[in-house]
Chain A
């Protein structure tokens, strides 16, 4: 009989463990909508200030990431001002449905985005001003939307995502070369030897030499080596230049996995499957490599705010500078804000500065 008591008490304790700490009340606050399109059922969690005339549509990273991670970024200053629509892209996060793998493409996602904007205007008012807020892959998707779809946006706020792989690789090469040289100048050495793609890197001088002889990147083989090298430099840069995160929001993984509309297992499986289909670096099927939106971007006139982590090893600041120069948006309607102590995730690491820049831009263009 003791066995039964232990069973019962154990079960009770297990369940009570997950019943506490509902920091954001994700199951009750705001509204949940589903957008159905071409076999996908995509959740859009709408939170924040329902009296606002502005809706921010979140374009999460990935491809295959989740908007759930951004609740922490926007639930502080930004949700107090605006409605924030956390859209899960198809085959990403907690998106459900059933469709052929051919329907997982950037063209289809841009169409989904168009319908997501239409849904938000249908639900909350056609006069609402919708701004796209993209991060990383979300910038690629958002930019593709702007050049291929008839935009319903009032503006776009983009951070640390690319529009041209050529510029992305070039910025990454500079990052590797510059910080390898900086480490050499400081008398530092290579943390550990690296062997990748048939190349041996035993010293920082080897790294600098490889950068000098492989710029620009033109093949998957070069890209594979570059990605490994940037990882080595990133550790040094983080220790040297990054500051502690100052995000105001707080969403624990326990809340997301057990007390929210989100499904951690689905997010994991969706990420794996999306990676396998359209984002596989090793199998060289990634749609995020070897593309260039630049020619069509020259016609863009939409207000755009670029808020960039200065030390991004993946999509460097030079990419943002090129984005700023390429678009035809008047000077008065475009901004480039540099977050001085961040890498790829400045919207989290320097959340207050990011949020204030975003709000200032939206207030100017609403």
Chain B
């Protein structure tokens, strides 16, 4: 048996009995992530995704599938803005026979941006407090590389490192590309 960290071993012992020993395709993938906008602006992201049109090669046990999903993402750039994004995604996922998992997604949706400090405006006579929230359209691409523990250990989890590039529009007179790094834990429901 390969070496497994203690916390994963605990999860393995508690879950593997429920989910059995043989690999089957998941019906739903639940995920929770640390979402680092610009790497250092902390956030959290949760989502549900489901594989569609899966092709499981029984001989090589390579799972290739299209995946559709929905995500809620929140992050904070201190003293700049907070953002809440509601997005839908479609992408391609591949899980190798040893567990190496890769994915590539296109995502689009709504972004609410809230200024992260006091905001003021001139009302024609004096300075008054101003609203902080603005609405934006967002879309982007992300790719993931990680490990599917399900393949070799029956642990229904994947760990992924997933860089994002996404667009916030409108932004001033045009749009703004943003970068993020998502560290993602996926739980497979079967």
Contacts and interface: CB of A to CB of B under 8 A. Distances in A.
A76 interface: no
A48 interface: no
A27 B173 contact: no
A18 B39 contact: yes
B80 interface: yes
B15 interface: no
A3 B159 CA distance: 11
B179 interface: yes
Interface stretch (A94-102, A225-233, A317-325): A94-102
Nearest to B170: A98
Contacts of A27: 78-79
A99 B178 contact: no
Interface residues of B, number: 43
Contacts of A91: 172-173
A44 to B, nearest CB: 9
Nearest to A26: B79
A277 B80 CA distance: 25
B121 interface: yes
B13 interface: no
A170 interface: no
B80 A261 contact: yes
Contacts of A94: 80
A14 interface: yes
Given A4-B147, A122-B126, A19 B121 contact: no
A365 interface: no
A18 to B, nearest CB: 5
Contacts of A4: 147, 159
Nearest to B81: A96
Contacts of A277: 173
B40 A96 contact: no
Contacts, number: 130
> Is the interface on chain A under 10, 10 to 19, 20 to 34, or 35 or more residues?
35 or more
Contact of A3 (B40, B80, B147, B179): B147
B21 to A, nearest CB: 19
A36 interface: yes
A31 B36 CA distance: 24
Contacts of A360: none
B16 interface: no
Contact of B77 (A45, A122, A263, A273): A263
A293 interface: no
Nearest to A5: B5
B176 interface: yes
A84 to B, nearest CB: 16
A32 B79 contact: yes
Contacts of B179: 265
A321 B22 CA distance: 84
Contacts of B40: 15, 18-19, 258-259
Interface in A74-119: 90-91, 94-101, 103-104, 115, 118-119
Given A11-B183, A265-B179, A43 B117 contact: yes
A222 interface: no
Interface in B99-152: 100, 113, 115-122, 126-127, 130-132, 134, 146-147
B190 interface: no
A265 B77 CA distance: 13
A118 B118 contact: no
Contacts of B147: 3-4, 7
Given A36-B130, A119-B120, A15 B177 contact: no
A37 interface: yes
Contacts of A34: 115, 117-120, 130, 132
A7 B161 contact: yes
Interface in B2-33: 2-4
Contacts of B178: 265
Contact of B121 (A37, A96, A99, A101): A37
5 contacts: A115-B121, A123-B120, A258-B40, A261-B79, A263-B80
